[in-house]
Chain A
């Protein structure tokens, strides 16, 4: 089981926002956003809420649990 996310798609839907802009908006580094997008780092609950709030979504709409084959 892994934590998947739609951050990349949401960024592009949001006037092709860069990782740097999102990072500055939620108060982390670009490297952290990159690691979360790639599924290499699981964010804290607080950061997950911040990211979801920034896009005006619920946490479940941004993050989801996937099995090892990438299925939701």
Chain B
């Protein structure tokens, strides 16, 4: 009988995480249609007391478990020599976006609940929720394709040579860094525009800083797992000499670019001493440097 999962014997943890992720992906794909049905129903009949909150809540829990399982699966797949392909990159990127979107979806649903009780409009929240569903759908489709490829051993590099440093992980870290940097910058600019008049409301600023932490989390987790691998000597060296050279140049580029970026941020809010930038300089600096740094590293990596 043909084996369902065509992987070498030592990859038991990868097998387990593949099966768990597959089950959760199927469940989550089905839940997307439930969410769509619930959203359309809620939009048509805005009575908060009749919202199907239990179903939506269970969907969010399934998604959270799925992202954890997907993260474990990717970790073991990278260890087994996962190849960087367009499918892998799209899957990881949409996974990161929809992972961040869980928190924003929750916030949007709470906003809708309060706005409907106050008879207010919330078209932006609905737009966000439908965009988020689209990202989830792409993630589920690419995730299923990736899982099947991994099960058939197609996504694993054919070579028997064990790399000293995992290049695929290095490359995907840069893609995630670019995405987190862009998402963070967009969110901070949006917060700056929206908060201009109520900058003194500290709790709101703290909430934004919390969201910024959520946005940077995927990149941070990848870097932490890299450091842990190095500490446990799973990999012999963190970076090789070309990567170190690229890191130095990208660090310099990010620092040099951050000076005019921060000067522009400062100039824009200079005439208004009570503006939100007084609080938001940190996310501005953090996400602009993360974006430039990751983009510069990726370009140098792709250039060879």
Interface residues on B, range: 10 to 19
Could you mark each residue 206-244 of chain B with 1 if its beta carbon is under 8 Å from any beta carbon of chain A, else 0? 000000000000000000000000000000110011110
* A30 lies within 8 A of chain B by Cβ: yes
Could you mark each residue 151-174 of chain B with 1 if its beta carbon is under 8 Å from any beta carbon of chain A, else 0? 000000101011111010010000
Could you mark each residue 116-142 of chain B with 1 if its beta carbon is under 8 Å from any beta carbon of chain A, else 0? 000000000000000000000000000
Q: Does B164 lie within 8 Å of A31, measured CB to CB?
A: no
Chain B residues with Cβ under 8 A from A27's Cβ? 164, 236-237, 240
Name the residue of chain B whose CB is nearest to the CB of A27.
Answer: B164
- What separation, in Å, do the CA atoms of A39 and B236 have in the docked complex? 26
- What separation, in Å, do the CA atoms of A24 and B304 have in the docked complex? 17
- What separation, in Å, do the CA atoms of A58 and B243 have in the docked complex? 26
Smallest beta-carbon distance A37→chain B, Å: 9
Q: Does B161 lie within 8 Å of A28, measured CB to CB?
A: no
* B301 lies within 8 A of chain A by Cβ: yes
Chain A residues with Cβ under 8 A from B162's Cβ? 24
* A41 lies within 8 A of chain B by Cβ: yes
Chain B residues with Cβ under 8 A from A43's Cβ? 241
Q: Does B242 lie within 8 Å of A32, measured CB to CB?
A: yes
Q: Does B159 lie within 8 Å of A23, measured CB to CB?
A: no
Interface residues on A, range: 10 to 19
Q: Does B164 lie within 8 Å of A32, measured CB to CB?
A: no
Q: Does A35 lie within 8 Å of B304, measured CB to CB?
A: yes
Chain A residues with Cβ under 8 A from B114's Cβ? none
Could you mark each residue 32-60 of chain B with 1 if its beta carbon is under 8 Å from any beta carbon of chain A, else 0? 00000000000000000000000000000
Please, could you name 21 A-B residue pairs with CB atoms under 8 Å apart, sorted by A? Answer: A20-B157, A20-B159, A20-B161, A20-B163, A21-B161, A24-B161, A27-B236, A27-B240, A28-B164, A28-B240, A28-B241, A29-B164, A29-B165, A29-B243, A30-B167, A31-B242, A31-B301, A32-B243, A35-B304, A41-B242, A47-B241
A contacts, CB < 8 Å to B: 18, 20-21, 23-24, 27-32, 34-35, 38, 40-41, 43-44, 47
